[in-house]
């Protein structure tokens, strides 16, 4: 199946199974969001096979909401900069950066459905975002600012992400992370910038509100992530 056909199917799937609505903690941004997480989780595994990534794109996760709030409230840090949103999911943080006046915003994801959702969400918010299907964690950021919301949710992911973010910081990029207390965030590598009480889906998080922190990475030694 060609890429255009896959893209068309992904776009149609997002439109069918997610509803455009304001984000709870960043109502300035509207996203295509799923009303009921468990049914969509089962549907993506069934229709798109079990190797399809879970539908992270269909929900505004706490880390992304907190980071998008920070970006929205501090546009002077992002205006005129080239921004990379890593593991972008719904594109929430990328859209916030574009709204803040970033010179260019690149949102990277490994899930074709997420890439479709990012494109739809950027269009719905009237901002330019370059949605890219790629795993770039073994490469370089090529950005002045790197944003990452809720990426430290597993040991394997955290290790790869930290190495990537450290390379970006050593290359001169400002690195900001939004995290709701996930177990694999290496807090000693970061400086705390802000904390928020973010409303979340109880079905996803088992609570209605998660305390979410925005951190800035300190550049370390080349061997620091080892």
Gap between the Cα atoms of 176 and 208, Å rounded: 25
Average pLDDT, whole number, for the chain? 88
| Residue entry with tokens 């430290």 | 152
Domains of the chain from N-terminus onward: 3-217 (3.40.50.150)
For residue 4, name the pLDDT band (cuts at 50, 70, 90): low
Check whether 123 has a pLDDT greater than 70.
yes
Check whether 109 has a pLDDT greater than 70.
yes
Q: Tokens at residue 182, please?
A: 């996930």
For residue 220, name the pLDDT band (cuts at 50, 70, 90): low
Give the pLDDT mean for 171-179.
Answer: 97
For residue 202, name the pLDDT band (cuts at 50, 70, 90): confident
Contact status, residue 19 vs residue 124, Cβ threshold 8 Å: no
pLDDT tens digits for range 68-98:
999 999 999 999 999 999 999 999 999 999 9
Considering only CA atoms, which of 147, 47, 145 is closest in space to residue 88?
147
Gap between the Cα atoms of 6 and 165, Å rounded: 30
Gap between the Cα atoms of 181 and 175, Å rounded: 18
For residue 46, name the pLDDT band (cuts at 50, 70, 90): very low
């Amino acid at each position: 199946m060609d890429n255009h056909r896959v893209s068309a199917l992904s776009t149609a799937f997002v439109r069918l199974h997610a509803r455009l609505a304001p984000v709870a903690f960043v109502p300035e941004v509207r996203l295509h969001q799923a009303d009921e997480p468990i049914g969509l989780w089962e549907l993506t595994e069934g229709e798109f096979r079990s190797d399809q990534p879970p539908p992270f794109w269909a929900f505004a996760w706490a880390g992304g909401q907190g980071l998008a709030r920070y970006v929205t409230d501090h546009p002077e840090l992002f205006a005129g900069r080239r921004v990379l949103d890593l593991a972008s999911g719904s594109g929430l943080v990328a859209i916030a950066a574009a709204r803040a006046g970033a010179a260019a915003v690149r949102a990277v994801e490994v899930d074709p459905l997420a890439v479709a959702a990012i494109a739809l969400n950027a269009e719905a918010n009237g901002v330019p975002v370059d949605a890219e299907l790629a795993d770039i964690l073994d490469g370089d950021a090529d950005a002045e600012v790197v944003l990452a919301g809720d990426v430290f949710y597993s040991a394997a992911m955290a290790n790869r992400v930290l190495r990537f973010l450290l390379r970006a910081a050593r290359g001169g990029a400002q690195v900001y992370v939004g995290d709701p207390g996930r177990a694999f965030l290496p807090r000693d590598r970061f400086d705390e910038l802000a904390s928020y009480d973010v409303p979340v889906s109880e079905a996803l998080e088992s609570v209605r509100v998660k305390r979410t922190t925005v951190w800035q990475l300190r550049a370390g030694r080349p061997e620091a992530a080892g």
